[in-house]
Amino acid sequence: MLLEKGYVDPAALDLIVETYETKIGPRNGARVVARAWTDPAFKARLLADGTKAVAEFGFGGRQGEHLQVVENTHDLHNLVVCTLCSCYPWSVLGLPPVWYKSAPYRAKAVMDPRGVLGDFGVFLPPSTRIRVWDSTAELRYLVLPMRPEGTEGWSEERLADCVTRDAMIGTGLARRPGDAA
Ligand SMILES: [Co+2]
């Protein structure tokens, strides 16, 4: 309606949405992940109660929304979807990307998660199990990706730059040193 009335410039609106989708939102989650990589006590709190742990950063969900953090390991890779609609952990990732809301992603993530990962250019060893988490309005998921090798001694700030939005959905991996940004 605001667009129709000429109150809002569509290009400006797109820019705002894109900023929340790719910059401001996921930056929150990246800070949480970087802290978990460097602070074992925080990581334990995060895995035990995600909602409570991210509140330490001042990140909060709306009432009744719980955040569960699922940890990737060499043996287990986690992938998040909402098969019904587009439930997403707004407090730590901002707005969901368009593909997350698409019917093909929602269907294929459940039926062929390894195929979805391939579509995103992620190829895991056959020995790595993939677990798919179906989000709801009450329970949302954040993937704790594996810390990239070669980042020993890095600051939280620098580590956070390795943490992409897709790595926290499970459709990507954390960036390794030397990967293109
Ligand atoms: Co939903």
pLDDT of residue 180: 61
- Residue 138 Cα to ligand 1 middle (Å): 9
Let me know if 127 is a catalytic residue.
no
Domains in the chain: ranges and CATH: 10-169 (3.90.330.10)
Q: Is 82 a catalytic residue?
A: yes
Distance separating alpha carbons of residues 32 and 45, to the nearest angstrom: 11
Side chain identity at residue 17, one-letter code: V
Residue for token digits 């709190």?
Answer: 45
Instruction: Judge whether 162 counts as a catalytic residue.
Output: no
pLDDT recorded at residue 63:
58
Q: pLDDT at position 38, please?
A: 98
d(CA 116, CA 78): 12
Residue 173 corresponds to which tokens in the numbers above?
């991996």
Over its length of 181 residues, how does the chain's per-residue pLDDT go in tens digits? 777 777 778 888 787 777 777 767 899 999 999 999 999 999 999 999 999 999 999 888 665 679 999 999 999 999 999 999 999 998 899 989 999 999 999 999 999 999 999 999 999 999 999 999 999 989 999 999 999 999 999 999 999 999 999 999 999 999 998 886 5
User: What's the CA-to-centroid distance between 77 and ligand 1, angstroms?
Assistant: 21
For 149, phi then psi, to 5°, come to -70, 155
Residue 12 Cα to ligand 1 middle (Å)? 27
